[in-house]
Amino acid sequence: MTDEILISERPAEAADRAVPGHWEGDLILGLGSSAIGTLVERSSRFTMLLHLPPMCGGEDPRIKNGPALTGHGAEAVRDTIAAAITTLPEQLRRSLTWDQGAEMAQHAQLRIDTGLQIYFCNPQSPWQRGTNENTNGLLRQYFPKGTDLARHSADDIAAVAAALNTRPRKTLGWRTPAEALDEHLAKTA
Q: Which pLDDT value is given to residue 68?
A: 46
Phi first, then psi, for residue 112 (nearest 5°) are: -65, -45
- Residue 37 belongs to some domain of the structure: yes
Query: Distance between CA 51 and CA 150 in Å, rounded?
Result: 9
- 141 class by beta-carbon count within 10 Å (0-12 exposed, 13-18 middle, 19+ buried): exposed
- Residue 165 belongs to some domain of the structure: yes
What CATH number does residue 175 fall under? 3.30.420.10
- Residue 1 belongs to some domain of the structure: no
- Residue 2 belongs to some domain of the structure: no
- Residue 149 belongs to some domain of the structure: yes
Can you give the pTM of this predicted structure?
0.89
Mind listing the pLDDT tens digit of every residue in the chain (189 residues)? 458 899 999 989 998 998 999 999 999 999 988 999 999 999 999 999 999 988 665 455 555 554 444 567 899 999 999 999 999 999 999 999 999 889 999 999 999 999 999 999 998 888 889 899 999 999 999 999 999 999 999 999 999 999 999 999 999 999 999 999 999 888 876
3-class DSSP string for the chain: CCCCCEHHHCCHHHHCCCCCCEEEEEEEECHHHCEEEEEEECCCCCEEEEEECCCCCCCCCCCCCCCCCCCCCHHHHHHHHHHHHCCCCHHHCCEEEECCCHHHCCHHHHHHHHCCEEEECCCCCHHHHHHHHHHHHHHCCCCCCCCCHHHCCHHHHHHHHHHHHCCCEHHHCCECHHHHHHHHHHHHC
**Cβ atoms of 138 and 165 closer than 8 Å:** no
Query: Distance between CA 169 and CA 17 in Å, rounded?
Result: 16
CA distances from 188 to 92, 112, 181, 183 (A): 11, 25, 11, 9
- Residue 28 belongs to some domain of the structure: yes
Write the CB contacts of 162 (distance below 8 Å, at least 6 apart in sequence). Answer: none
Q: Which pLDDT value is given to residue 53?
A: 87
Count up the domains in the chain and report the number: 1
Q: Which pLDDT value is given to residue 33?
A: 85
**Residue 150 domain boundaries:** 7-188
